[in-house]
Structure formats: structure tokens, C-alpha cells
């Protein structure tokens, strides 16, 4: 079994690591687009163009499934990819807006995501479909992907966003960018037990099993 993982930057490595644990016999192929990271501050047309170009090595290797381990690329490009390459199985990552409301006691959830994801049609459709009865806080994380990529993010960045969410009574935080998986523990520490953190690792593993009939 060959699993391809694409992300704009280092976030895909975290996803691939978790997939390798779940499927130890799988061949894992990872591509990124470090030259153009971050995607989250670019316009939709450019994100689509960059994504299509970046995944070509995975298509050429005939991966059994390709994980678009980038919430921004998923939100903009996944439907086009599925139409353009109908024989290829794709899994996209999207903020976990669907399960979050049921886990919130305060009725307030927070989404840490890039500007492109937050303004995307897919994300806003999910909000209307699954989160109409909760308040959603969307703090400014626009520079986080770049800071994480360059190993420059520090606890002050994380603490400031955590305080904003806690002050708004958010008790569920959704990680809507795979870059943020690298600082998940720091985010949890900054929230100080006042909010749970959701990220899609288990859902990705389950979807791989489903698509490949494992």
C-alpha cells in the first residue's frame, strides 16, 4: 500500500507520522511546497495552481490514496482535484466543525485556521450546516504557519490567542491547519484545561481504512 501526503510545509510530516503508526507496512510518500509556504494568505486561484503542481509526483507514483494534509489546499482545491483526477482517491483535511458543537458545554468553540480556510466556501458551508447553534471564535493565526515553518513561534503567540478564546468562553478548540499539530501540546498548556483540542488524525486514519477497504 502506498500513501501519498501533501502539505504546503512541514505539517504533512506530522500527518504522515501518525499514518505510519496506523499503517506500519505502508509506503509513505511525502511532498511539500516549502518554496511557496504559507498557502493561507494567498488567493484561491494561486492556491489551486500550486496544489495541482505540487501533487504531480504523488500522482505519478500511483498512490493508493493521496492525503491533502493542508486545510487551506483542501478548502480551495479538493473538489477540482477529484474532478480532474477521478481515478485517484483523495482525502482532504477540514476543520472539525461537525463534531465540535456536541463537545461544547459553553456553546462557544474556537477555530485556529489560516485566512484562506476561514473565508473558504467549504468552511463556511460547514459552519452553516453543523454549527448554527454555537458561537465560533476565529482568532488571528495568520502568521502562525510561517513562524512554525521557521521555528520562530513562541509561547507568547500561543498564549495571546489562547487568552482570547478563553475570555470568549470557548471550551473547544479546533486545529484547522496541520502546521499547528507541531505545537499541539503548547496550545493545550496555554489553554490550561479550560478547553479541549480537536484535530483530525483519527478521522484521517478511519477514512484511509474506509477508502482502501482495510
- Note whether 117 and 68 are within 8 A (CB): no
Instruction: Give the Cα-Cα-Cα angle 70, 127, 157 (nearest 5 degrees).
Output: 55
State the number of CA atoms in the 13 A half-sphere of 60 facing the CB.
7
Please identify every residue annotated as catalytic. 70, 177
Grid cell at residue 137: 471564535
Sheet holding 108-112, edge to edge: 135-137, 108-112, 172-175, 196-198
C-alpha cell at 151: 521555528
What is the DSSP-derived secondary structure letter of residue 56? H
The SS3 call for residue 96 is: coil
| CA–CA gap between residue 98 and residue 126 (Å, rounded) | 7
Residue 4 is inside which H or E element, if any? strand 2-7
Amino acid at each position: 500500500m502506498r500513501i501519498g501526503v501533501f502539505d504546503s510545509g512541514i505539517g504533512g510530516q506530522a500527518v504522515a507520522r501518525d499514518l505510519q503508526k496506523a499503517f506500519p507496512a505502508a509506503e509513505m510518500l511525502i511532498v511539500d511546497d516549502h518554496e511557496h509556504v504559507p498557502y493561507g494568505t494567498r488567493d484561491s486561484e494561486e492556491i489551486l495552481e500550486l496544489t495541482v503542481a505540487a501533487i504531480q509526483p504523488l500522482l505519478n507514483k500511483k498512490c493508493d490514496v493521496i492525503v491533502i494534509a493542508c486545510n487551506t489546499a483542501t478548502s480551495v482545491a479538493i473538489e477540482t482535484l477529484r474532478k480532474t483526477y477521478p481515478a485517484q482517491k483523495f482525502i482532504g483535511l477540514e476543520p472539525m466543525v461537525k463534531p465540535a458543537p456536541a463537545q461544547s458545554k459553553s456553546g462557544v468553540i474556537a477555530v485556529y485556521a489560516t485566512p484562506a480556510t476561514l473565508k473558504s466556501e467549504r468552511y463556511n458551508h460547514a459552519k452553516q450546516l453543523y454549527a448554527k447553534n454555537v458561537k465560533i471564535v476565529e482568532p488571528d493565526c495568520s502568521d502562525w504557519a510561517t513562524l512554525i515553518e521557521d521555528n520562530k513561534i513562541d509561547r507568547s503567540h500561543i498564549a495571546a490567542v489562547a487568552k482570547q478564546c478563553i475570555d470568549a468562553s470557548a471550551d473547544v478548540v479546533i486545529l484547522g491547519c496541520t502546521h499547528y499539530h507541531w505545537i499541539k501540546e503548547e496550545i493545550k498548556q496555554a489553554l490550561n484545561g479550560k478547553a479541549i483540542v480537536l484535530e483530525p488524525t483519527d478521522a484521517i486514519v478511519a477514512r484511509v481504512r474506509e477508502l482502501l477497504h482495510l
